[in-house]
Amino acid sequence: MKIVFMGTPDFAVPVLEALLKEHQVVAVYTRAPKESGRGKKVNKTPVHLIAEQHNIPVFTPKSLKTDDEISRIKSFGADVAIVAAYGLLLPQAVLDAFPKGCINVHASLLPRWRGAAPIQRSIQFGDTKSGISIMKMALALDAGDVLSQKSITISHDMTGGDLHDALAQIGAGLLIDTLRNLDALSPVKQEESLVTYAEKLNKAECLLDFNSDARVLINKIRAFSPYPATYFTYLGERFKIYKASVVPGQGKPGEILSDGNTLIIAVQNSEALKIEKIQREGKQLMNISDLLRGFTFSKGDIVNS
């Protein structure tokens, strides 16, 4: 089939690469490059870079709602649009521009976790499984009929990064199988009573509140690792936490209970977090034992104070 592909981050790369092996990708839409650093270095999206390697025309409009953009999309004469974590809303005119519609690769078992951050929210809120939904897109957010699904178990130590990588590969394979059988599939409507929304991540929620249940904190640390990463502050510095475990501990929420080669911080209900992987501002991610060789957390101090 002739395909217009729309995607932006690393999650979308395996999907695009799988499509290139079996189909004709005639155009790629992705978010515009961003400038960073003093030299204003232009950073193209992962999807942009893959498309250039394969000499596929790349388009980075700020909106798909203009008449010119809609006309250009129609001019490709593609059978279907495949969307994977693109980042822009598709207006009805774009949804209607393809004979076989627009198909989305979504990283959750819809109708659970519609929205921007399904991978992180599924771990944060203690789900035991996640998966991929291949969905025929509708105008409402992630509300289209489901063509196929495949689930994966969320293990007790799986991080957001682990689940992201696993689902990216599953999504690529499931999409190809779905396209092979597209004409024989019967789309299934989502049960609206089961809908949950995965709100976009924001920096404010990354600060750990030690006046919380230990399991809630552990799930959040796992979910936000490696990005955007949870943190606490101590002596005016921010320390990002990438891995921790629950241990017994008695103290005020946020109180440092350890003194030596470990870092243990009290939470609620006579429990504490034992920090295992940490990143000091301006430093590399490291095991806590490595940080403690050159930095001291004083027993009895309260973090985030």
Tokens of 170: 């599953």
Tokens of 287: 């095991």
**CB-count burial class (<10 Å; 0-12, 13-18, 19+) for 276:** middle
Predicted local confidence at residue 127, as pLDDT: 98
Q: Is the pLDDT of residue 38 over 80?
A: no
- For 204-291, give the CATH class: alpha beta
pTM assigned to the model: 0.95
Q: To the nearest whole percent, how much of the chain has pLDDT over 70?
A: 98
Backbone angles phi, psi at 293, to 5 degrees: -70, -25
Q: Is the pLDDT of residue 5 over 90?
A: yes
Query: What are the extents of the domains in the chain?
Result: 2-198, 204-291
Q: What is the mean pLDDT of residues 184-211?
A: 97
**Distances in whole angstroms, Cα of residue 74 to Cα of each of 90, 136, 188:** 13, 18, 27
Predicted local confidence at residue 15, as pLDDT: 98
Q: What angle do CA 25, 26, 30 make, to 5 degrees?
A: 80
Tokens of 233: 């502050």
Q: Which of 199, 171, 10 is nearest to 82 (CA)?
A: 171
Q: Which of 90, 5, 82, 91 is nearest to 48 (CA)?
A: 5
Tokens of 95: 């949804």
DSSP assignment of 209-232 equals -SSS-HHHHHHHHHHTTTTT-EEE
Predicted local confidence at residue 42, as pLDDT: 80
Q: In the chain, which residue ranges form alpha helices assigned H by DSSP? A: 13-22, 46-53, 67-75, 92-95, 118-124, 160-180, 214-223, 288-291
Predicted local confidence at residue 41, as pLDDT: 76
Q: CA 137 to CA 42: how far, in whole Å?
A: 32
Whether 97 and 74 have beta carbons less than 8 Å apart is answered as yes
Of residues 170 and 305, the one with the higher pLDDT is: 170
pLDDT tier, 37 (very low <50, low <70, confident <90, very high otherwise):
low
| Residue 188 DSSP class | B
Q: CA 12 to CA 169: how far, in whole Å?
A: 9
Q: Tell me the pLDDT tens digit for each residue of 80-136.
A: 999 999 999 999 999 999 999 999 999 999 999 999 999 999 999 999 999 999 999
Q: CA 303 to CA 297: how far, in whole Å?
A: 9
Asked, colleague to colleague, whether 2-198 and 204-291 share their fold, the answer is no
Backbone angles phi, psi at 289, to 5 degrees: -60, -35
Predicted local confidence at residue 234, as pLDDT: 98
In CATH terms, the fold of domain 2-198 is Rossmann fold (3.40.50)
Q: CA 106 to CA 187: how far, in whole Å?
A: 15
Q: Tell me the pLDDT tens digit for each residue of 237-294.
A: 999 999 999 999 999 999 999 988 899 999 999 999 999 999 999 999 999 999 999 9
Q: Is the pLDDT of residue 32 over 90?
A: yes
Predicted local confidence at residue 305, as pLDDT: 79
Whether 238 and 207 have beta carbons less than 8 Å apart is answered as no
Q: CA 264 to CA 249: how far, in whole Å?
A: 8
Q: Is the pLDDT of residue 39 over 70?
A: no
Whether 81 and 32 have beta carbons less than 8 Å apart is answered as no
Q: Is the pLDDT of residue 34 over 90?
A: no
